[in-house]
Structure 1
């Protein structure tokens, strides 16, 4: 399933602006939704994690082009059912879409395919795709 392409502008918090040195105001930044395309109309992006304990991950949530809000959320407890490394879902608990291991970022995939063709020595695990009929 593809990753959602929604984005939001996230202005720096007032307290951060107040602490910044004169002439070095923090800039507004874009955040990209990390959920799969099948989610509801509330988008989400991880901003930071404060140590892995419950509620320590701070996410930004927004709806459409509306106001973004910061929300501490616990991590999703799901583990990849077919992964020997017991990979954890990288989203928040009760997220409204597929788990992170089922989400594909089409831009990341396209860049990886391009780089693999241009620099195959950097991607030895990908194998030889030149002669196997696969296309990117």
Structure 2
């Protein structure tokens, strides 16, 4: 399933703006939804991991409203690889190993005909 392409521009929180050095305000930043497309819940983007609490801080948004949420990790693991799902517990849609980033898929298709840069190269002809 393709990744949701929702994007949001989030202004820095007021308390962060107040703490900023004069003349150097924090900038707004873009976040991209990490869920599979066509989900029916709020969009979600991982902001940072909170290892002490075994969770992560996510921004969840819908329309013009956004909120931060500390959410536990999804407990699922991929039976094929043993990798843990990188989304939050109870996430809508599919697990992250079934989400395909359309930008990366397009780059992979574009570069698919290029030689592997890690492959051994033939020796140059004599005199070259």
Residue aligning to 1:91 = 87
Whose radius of gyration is greater, 1 or 2? 2
> CA RMSD of the aligned region, Å?
1.7
| Count of residues paired in the alignment | 119
Query: Is 1:18 matched up with 2:18?
Result: yes
Other structure's SS at 1:69 match: strand
Gaps of 5+ in 1: 125-136
Q: How far apart are residue 2 of structure 1 and its match?
A: 0.1
Gaps of 5+ in 2: 120-128
Contact 2:41 2:92 in 1 (8 A): no
Match of 1:75 among 69, 73, 76: 73
Give me the TM-score of the superposition, normalised by structure 2: 0.84
Distance 1:34 1:26 in 2: 24
Give me the TM-score of the superposition, normalised by structure 1: 0.79
| Deviation by residue 1:51-97 (Cα, 9 ceiling, x = unmatched) | 1633x30000011x2211001100000000111xx100000000001
